[in-house]
Amino acid sequence: MLPWKAVIARVLPKASETGSTERDSRIPSDIRLNLIRTVVSSISKPSTRSTTSSIMPPQLKAEVNVMPKVVQGDLQSLPPEARDFIESNAKLCQPESIHICDGSEEENKKILDIMVEQGMIKKLSKYENCWLALTDPRDVARIESKTVIITQEQRDTTPIPKTGTSQLGRWMSEEDFEKAFNTRFPGCMQGRTMYVIPFSMGPIGSPLSKIGIELTDSPYVVASMRIMTRMGTAALKALSNGEFVKCLHSVGCPLPLKEPLINNWPCNPELTLIAHLPDRREIISFGSGYGGNSLLGKKCFALRIASRIAKEEGWLAEHMLILGITNPEGEKKYFAAAFPSACGKTNLAMMNPSLPGWKIECVGDDIAWMKFDEQGNLRAINPENGFFGVAPGTSVKTNPNAIKTIFKNTIFTNVAETSDGGVYWEGIDEPLTPGVTVTSWKNKNWTPDNGEPCAHPNSRFCTPASQCPIMDPAWESPEGVPIEGIIFGGRRPAGVPLVYEAFNWQHGVFIGAAMRSEATAAAEHKGKIIMHDPFAMRPFFGYNFGKYVAHWLSMAHRPAAKLPRIFHVNWFRKNSQGKFLWPGYGENSRVLEWMFNRIEGKASAKPTAIGYIPADTALNLKGLEDVNLTELFDISKEFWEKEVEEIKQYFEVQVNADLPYEIEREMLALEMRIKQL
């Protein structure tokens, strides 16, 4: 037994010694894990001479620990809880030094220089302050199979499925997490700098915003978090002595390495683990440098941890874009919309409407935090400060405003590079200048005849939101913007109409819970399969999905709540020849116009078995040719009987005893309406 294990065995009594076998009688998990950290860090110090592989942390020697030197910032000036968080993890992870980030331009330049020196990024000479990172091919996406939530009971994290394993999150026991933590983190930052990143999710000072501190040994994370969050000194000032979410991240490659890195990208795929401890407001990530796994303010904090906080505090943390739409008369409304990754969410948030006189402005493209104010308005903020968008498919045609946003102050990851210092990807829709060649994300010469993509399907741009030419004037408003419509949608090649409206709030919540879509490249799933993706949150729920749905339903009981209308859209329906029935992109403004007018009480609709659809002439098709409304809005009894059966089976098996009775009632009502078609 290692020395630290022996000490842990002494300080943590067995259940038999406490006279009880009950779970709740043991030492609480937060005290338990902190005890372990203290024991490990106080008696052990990694050998600075040992040769370590990129897979296993170094063996520890039982020596007295010394705190690493602080090379930037003043540890003693921090609030006590923040200082304790940093010091305990520094002793555990054993970095060579500690750098407290201030978020300044000067600091950012130094971080970029460090990455260039390490070969992690290279400058793209064609653009202003743009950079390209190529990752280890084993570290390219979110890894749902290695993303877990730690709670005392499994049912706190996911419903207990009737059969098989839960598809609504992955639970890990406290005991298993302790073992996993202690095989990974002791000495994991040896030879590296621990960066301390104070950050605000949401505008600094907003009553809807939350503060976090991320500790990381990745300069890529520092540079990216500076774009994606309000990071640095201002966030520390906002923290004062308040609460913060604790985020610990390591690439899991202590120095020196035994094996060379691939693409100079440190990661540890064999031991990757992304863990959330909602009871302690803590996120612990190991082994991956990729965005969603390492930029812990993003999905980990802004959705998984925030959704749990939102349940406790009475608000909503959602995987939704926020946009403002203004009609020719100058009237404006805000919508929030949930789509799975790579389903056109960013394109919709930044749309150039084709309808004359209409204007769309972007508040956010990915995440919305929403809370009812005292007047009953549902107010939303975008907690992020940048866009972490999927590059393939982004072009002047599909998203002209994104193209205007991304060619300065941007970090590109896993896109192709042109010989003139530019970027390239599938669907960029720009011809190459004669003589210009392309190097793929795999660092190989590439031509269109290669038979494989030049950019990874989940390649990304990380760019400041403030650079978008259509950012809404109120996008950083502390009180948020008033949401009047909520849109759910997905990629459905068959059966689902272009747009329909829920009959009421409960029916709308059911529509969100029943969402299905083709799988995307943002996760590790491969192939074109239709997956259940309720609320586009399936990979991001921070607690039991049944309780999450009940929380949504409870909004209807808020005093004076002005409940938004709920809609469902499908831009991706195809005809029998496999061609899209709807042109999409800027033409989607025609669907938004109908929704806008429905909220105003001006647009006509007709009831169907699944909801209200536009009446025969209600959808403005002026200037559009070859649009087959009959096919676009066809509701096939055969298709929907199968759809109902799929949804029903999913709820019965996956949500089981935690399915709210209101959703059961909506399910039965839909089944009856379909039978009557």
Q: Which residues form the catalytic set?
A: 343
At 493, which amino acid appears? P
Closest-CA residue to 534 (of 560, 555, 557, 552): 552
Alpha helices by DSSP H, listed for 587-635, are 589-600, 629-632
DSSP letter for each residue of 271-334: G-EEEEEGGGTEEEEES--SHHHH-TIIIIIIIIIHHHHHHHHT-EEESEEEEEEE-TTS-EEE
Closest-CA residue to 520 (of 390, 346, 366): 390
Task: Answer for the pair 167, 654: CB distance below 8 angstroms, yes or no.
Answer: yes
Task: Answer for the pair 125, 280: CB distance below 8 angstroms, yes or no.
Answer: no
Closest-CA residue to 542 (of 274, 336, 175, 252): 274
Cis peptide before 482 (omega within 30 of 0): no
What does DSSP assign to residue 134? Answer: -
Residue 52's Cβ-side half-sphere holds a number of Cα atoms within 13 Å equal to 24
Task: Answer for the pair 232, 102: CB distance below 8 angstroms, yes or no.
Answer: yes
Tell me how far apart the terminal alpha carbons of the chain are, to the nearest angstrom: 69
Backbone phi and psi for residue 326, each to the nearest 5 degrees, phi listed first: -120, 130
What does DSSP assign to residue 651? Answer: I
Q: What number of H helices and E strands is found in the chain?
A: 19, 34
In DSSP terms, 518 is beta-bridged to 530
Residue with tokens 């919709």: 348
